[in-house]
Amino acid sequence: MMLTHLHKGTTPEGYPIQGVVAVDEDRIYKLPAQWQHFIEAFRSAPDRVFADDYGTQDLYSENSEIIGLLGVAIAMGENRKRRSRTRRWHEGQARRGIAHTGGRVFGYEPVPGKPGEIQVVPEEAVVIRKAVAACIAGQSWGTITQIFQQSGIPTAKGGPWRDQTVKQIVSNPRNAGLRILGENSDVCRDEHGELKLGQWDAIITPAEWEKVAGRYRPRNRIGKNKLPKGVVSRVYLGSGLYRCGNLLEDGRRCNCVMSGRKNDKGRAKYRYGCRPVTNGGCGGVSVAGEWIDEKISELVLLALEQRPEIVVELQWDKESELEAALRRRDDFETRWNQGEISDERFYRMLPSLDETVNKLRRERTAFQKASTVPVETAAQRRERWCKPVEEGGYDLQQKRSILFAELAAVVIYPVGKGTQKRSLDSFKPVWKTAE
């Protein structure tokens, strides 16, 4: 965020940015790449001031790049030492059987007047034992979550109980007097390979915890194909668009976002369904995926036929950053041609400048490919909608861009129990109005 504002030269409120003030340099960058990005953003405008606890620094000088890299190397070394000391301290605490008291957890509370010690909360321990027994018996997580809901005990933050919260509580090794140790999330063991029991009272036995861990392993909740932060994998066309229109007992609509999932029963290959009560929904509405996707797609295509020249295009938020990178590279080359920069420095720095420009261009190309639908006639648009991707048809992301440009949501109403046939009145598209 700071780099974006430095490139733009103003804050979101419109105030000009004339410099950066930091407690210390390592609060801004800890890796060489982060230093490079910061220095490029900082130099995108002249006469800026950088100040830290040691005073001001001239980041426009030639030596500042070398000094900055030295500072990065020192910071990286200190961070490694700090992480190593912290890891060794936690390992020592675990091997001595001392509980990790980083915060309040369900089932335990700090012992008054005894820092570092915890004790069992009896009424919460009863709930954990019931939930563990239900987990070992193979009951669903929704049923297990209901045990917490029916206990009358609130969550730590006072919110409703959810499946994910319950999974973390039930699978916590602390309940069995155990501690996680190391980066591989292994349970602490003694020199003989036996489980190392802590000095606090356990709520369940280690054998019970191992059975729970066999079903849901703590700290091992993301698969190997982990997506980058902020990226959501969409498998179905209407994911995030459909909302539950079920009328609840208190008179309000559920309005929970319906999620898509594979369907092993019936003719539909996938369905959109409201989440269960234990996960924030009502579980009262479900619709065949192929049917609703086809109906909504047809409605949007008919609407677009009235505006055949429409272009669905999202704004790339790094355009100014790319322009600044191009200006820096061109200015650098101009100064070299004028003899202000030596050949050694020019050919040493040029690959880094080119890489920054090329990286931003690749990001822009990928963004445009994913979010832009070219200007087409209604007939061409409909043809590409029905074609396979390998034959020139729209891919999933392009189709979703078209739908979300036209629709704010689609409310799906219940049609009763059993295999009731849906009609066009069983859903309501909410169209976006032109601003």
The reported pLDDT for the residue numbered 183 is: 55
Q: Which two tokens stand for residue 415?
A: 């049609």
Residue 98 belongs to a domain: no
One domain, residues 258 and 343 = no
One domain, residues 332 and 356 = yes
The reported pLDDT for the residue numbered 182 is: 57
Residues 385 and 296 sit within 8 Å (Cβ to Cβ): no
The reported pLDDT for the residue numbered 297 is: 94
Q: Which residues are CB-contacts of 326 (< 8 A; sequence separation ≥ 6)?
A: 357
One domain, residues 30 and 60 = yes
The reported pLDDT for the residue numbered 224 is: 42
The reported pLDDT for the residue numbered 369 is: 65
Instruction: Indicate the SS3 state at residue 127.
Output: helix
Q: Which two tokens stand for residue 22?
A: 């930091």
Residue 406 belongs to what domain range?
242-311+379-431
Amino acid at position 372, single letter: T
One domain, residues 388 and 367 = no
User: CATH number for the domain including 204?
Assistant: 3.90.1750.20
One domain, residues 173 and 296 = no
Whole-angstrom distance, CA of residue 143 vs CA of residue 354: 57
Whole-angstrom distance, CA of residue 404 vs CA of residue 164: 29
Residue 102 belongs to a domain: no
One domain, residues 54 and 31 = yes
The reported pLDDT for the residue numbered 225 is: 43
One domain, residues 418 and 352 = no
- Dihedral class, residue 380 (left if φ above 0, else alpha if ψ from -120 to 50, else beta): alpha
Residue 140 belongs to a domain: yes
The reported pLDDT for the residue numbered 65 is: 66
Residues 160 and 194 sit within 8 Å (Cβ to Cβ): no
How many domains does the structure of the chain reveal?
A: 4
Residue 228 belongs to a domain: no
Phi, psi of 313 (to 5 degrees): -145, 125
Which uninterrupted H or E stretch holds 430? strand 427-431
Amino acid at position 114, single letter: K
Residues 270 and 261 sit within 8 Å (Cβ to Cβ): yes
One domain, residues 58 and 165 = no
Residue 123 belongs to a domain: yes
Whole-angstrom distance, CA of residue 261 vs CA of residue 400: 17
Whole-angstrom distance, CA of residue 341 vs CA of residue 138: 71
Burial 411-433 (b: 16+ CB within 10 A, else e): bbbbbeeeeeeeeeebbebeeee
Residue ending a domain, among 215, 234, 259, is 215
* Helix 396-406 with 289-304: angle, nearest 10 deg: 60
| Overall pTM surpassing 0.85 (yes/no) | no
Residues 42 and 28 sit within 8 Å (Cβ to Cβ): no
Whole-angstrom distance, CA of residue 120 vs CA of residue 322: 57
One domain, residues 272 and 416 = yes
One domain, residues 146 and 84 = no
Burial 168-188 (b: 16+ CB within 10 A, else e): bbbbbbbbbbbbbbeeeeebb
Where do runs of H (alpha helix) occur along 24-107?
32-42, 62-95
- CB-based burial of residue 167 (10 Å sphere; 0-12 exposed, 13-18 middle, 19+ buried)? buried
Residue 103 belongs to a domain: no
Residue by residue, pLDDT tens for the chain (435 residues) are 778 888 878 887 878 888 888 876 666 776 777 777 887 888 888 888 888 777 787 878 767 766 666 666 766 777 777 777 777 767 777 666 677 766 678 888 888 888 778 888 999 999 999 999 999 999 988 899 999 989 988 887 777 888 888 998 998 888 888 877 655 557 777 767 777 787 888 999 989 988 988 888 755 444 444 444 444 445 889 988 999 999 988 888 899 999 898 888 778 889 999 988 878 788 889 999 999 999 999 999 998 888 655 455 556 778 888 888 888 888 888 888 888 888 777 777 788 888 888 888 888 877 766 665 555 677 888 888 988 888 888 888 888 888 988 899 999 999 876 656 788 889 999 998 754
Residue ending a domain, among 353, 371, 389, is 371
Where do runs of H (alpha helix) occur along 160-268?
163-170, 206-215
Q: What are the angstrom distances between the C-alpha of 59 and each of 172, 277, 362?
A: 49, 56, 28
One domain, residues 175 and 282 = no
One domain, residues 284 and 406 = yes
Residues 144 and 170 sit within 8 Å (Cβ to Cβ): yes
Q: Which residues are CB-contacts of 218 (< 8 A; sequence separation ≥ 6)?
A: 168, 171, 172, 173, 180, 185
Residue ending a domain, among 347, 371, 395, is 371
Residues 28 and 22 sit within 8 Å (Cβ to Cβ): yes
Residue 224 belongs to a domain: no
Residue 229 belongs to a domain: no
